[in-house]
Amino acid sequence: MTTDPAPPELPRDPPLEQLGINVIRGLAIDGPRAANSGHPGTAMALAPLAHVLFTRVMRHDPSDPSWPDRDRFVLSNGHASILLYALLYLTGYGLELDDLRSFRQFGSRTPGHPEARHTPGVEVTTGPLGQGFANGVGMGIAERWLRTHFSPDLCDHHTYVIAGDGCLEEGISHEAASLAGHLQLGRLVYVYDDNHITIDGPTELAYNDDVAQRFEAYGWAVDDVGEVANDTVALEEALRRARSDEARPSLIILRSHIGYPSPHLTDSAKAHGDPFGDEEARATKEILGIPPDETFWVPDAVLDFYRRCIPRGQALRTQWERRSAAWDGDRARWDAAQAGHGMAGWEATLPEFSPEDGPMATRQAIKACLDATGGAIPGLIPGSADLTGNTGMAMDGAVAQSVADPGGSLIHYGIREHGMGGIMNGIAGHGGMLPVGGTFFVFSDYMRGAVRVGALSQAHVVYSWTHDSIGLGEDGPTHQPIEQLAAMRAMPGLRVIRPADANETAQAWRVAVDSSGPTALVLSRQKLPVLTGTRQRAVEGLPRGGYVLRDGDNGSPAVVLIGTGSEVHLCLEAADLLAAEGVEARVVSLPSWELFALQERSYLEAVLPPGLPRLSVEAASSFGWDRYADDFVSIDHFGASAPGERAMEEFGFTPEHVAARARDLLAR
């Protein structure tokens, strides 16, 4: 490993730095006041901490926010976004004062909570409390994995997370913190902003955890630094102590005072979520020693000081670029991992299936896809919430991620669905890896908060949601998803694919790997036949969301049967029954509404001709199907405990019932 000279340090100028901290506090007052909306108090209290992080501790280059070996920063309590925006402006990430003036306004680069891919310097989308906490754990996993698989010359950095009382109260933080301690993830530095205030009032209304003991029990290094929120020397020392711990994640407990130094609102719930009034803003600015009648005041000397972060960061990045250029490893694999995709031509490794192979559950098919393509997707890391074999995530040859093997390419998330979702978003947000996470589809409800943030931020993650219908059988209605398909299809930005057989699963995997943003694969527990025609037609048809799998012999169908997943083969068998009666039926496989909706109108009408009666067949809620079908074979109630085949039969998912419903539709 190359030894680089120390980067240039920013000059220590305590009076100027204190003025800079006070300017940050002034901006924290002015942004919410201009918007008449927002959270000034936490940003004011944590201004010294943010100052120390951005100017003394973090390795970052404001002129290149996506430099791969930068330290990562996550503001988990994203309601304090004005703090992050102030630092991104001051240190030179491209924000301007006008961006701060338009805080929380339509179209601005400074939305109410930080959004990844929207504001330069924002690593992950935060706001729903606890999500950023879990994201940081994912970033720690990604950094260690990349450092192990490639080289410290390419990946050698830390992740810093600020989290508040709300983050620690949310259950996802317990899940993520437990796993981080279990994996002994060093290079994670969390600061707990212990300000004792929530929107309702003092945290003691509902919360009196011993946070230090809780995190020590998880296996974290805990440093309770107490009342040093305004002591930049003590803050820097604490951060550097935590940074030096390579064996454990670190938690710094910092007692801060929300709204400081407001004369009337310090330590008040009002400072949490309400802009300051005129008199309080003026009085606070007078205490800070900044012009009380000016807004968004930033003197040139302060701006010049913070902008020195740019040449410092450029020097750090240049050192990394020299190490990277000298590295003699597999550059193509590194580049593919950084892109989150496969090596050139990886699609050639996709398996193909034929009807002679016999029936195969689509959860088994996804495992076959991982086994076949894993070597060509360098950053691939599957995992599961305690259902590794059940969800197809047991990739052949993958060693479990552990303290002994930090390069393991399989993650046992434990029974932590929500934590898994948030950690996957963090892995994707870090870059360099493609996380795939499995659980039963019904338990997607447990991880839905993280899934929504992943969709909003377009995190490149893949969900393997199996046991997708009443066809899973004996576990009964607690485990049989009904409304989940409709709910996930309603989520903007989430690509939902329910493949009909193994060949469609392979093509769904191709779409998931090659696309950006999140993809949900909704897969069967029960075995399904490999359908005639999918091997040829799904290659082009599945990426378009829907396609004609079979047409009537004379090419003039009287009815269209539309199926997804395990019900497509029922449509084919029902079409055979209808054909024996002289009724021609077209069978359409429609695995992805989202992909289908992207197609041109001519294609949509070619697949679903206007005027032809249409019957949808799906073992899930009928909600939403009226956009494509005139009638529905569906299930709009909970299922029952029974063998899967019996449950499907009892609730009408048989070729005979589908054919009968098609006849009824034609009669109408």
CA triple 25-71-58, angle to 5 deg? 45
Residue ranges in the chain whose pLDDT is less than 70: 1-7
Q: Tokens 């799998």 label which residue?
A: 549
Q: Report the alpha-carbon distance of residue 588 to residue 572 in Å, rounded.
A: 9
Burial of 543 (0-12, 13-18, 19+ CB in 10 A): buried
DSSP code per residue over 22-43: HHHHHHHHHHHHHHT-S-HHHH
Where does the chain hold its CATH 3.40.50.970 domain(s)? 14-319, 346-522
* CATH, range 14-319: 3.40.50.970
Contact (CB, 8 A) for 392 and 367 = yes
Provide the β-strand partners of residue 615.
561, 631
Amino acid code (one letter) for 134? A
3-state secondary structure of 273: helix
pLDDT value of position 2? 47
Amino acid code (one letter) for 130? G
Q: Helix axis angle, 655-667 relative to 568-580, nearest 10°?
A: 60
Token pair listed for 23: 């300017």
Active site (catalytic) residues: 417
Convert the pLDDT of each residue in 398-419 to its tens digit: 999 999 999 999 999 999 999 9
pLDDT value of position 555? 77
Residue in 396, 388, 392, 387 with CA at minimum distance from that of residue 361: 392
Contact (CB, 8 A) for 273 and 39 = yes
Number of residues that make up the chain: 668
Provide the β-strand partners of residue 496.
520
pLDDT value of position 7? 67
Beta strands (DSSP E) in 295-379 are: none
Q: Name the CATH superfamily housing domain 346-522.
A: Thiamin diphosphate (ThDP)-binding fold, Pyr/PP domains (3.40.50.970)
Token pair listed for 55: 């100017």
Where does the chain hold its CATH 3.40.50.920 domain(s)? 545-667
* CATH, range 545-667: 3.40.50.920
3-state secondary structure of 434: strand
Amino acid code (one letter) for 611? G
pTM (global) more than 0.75: yes
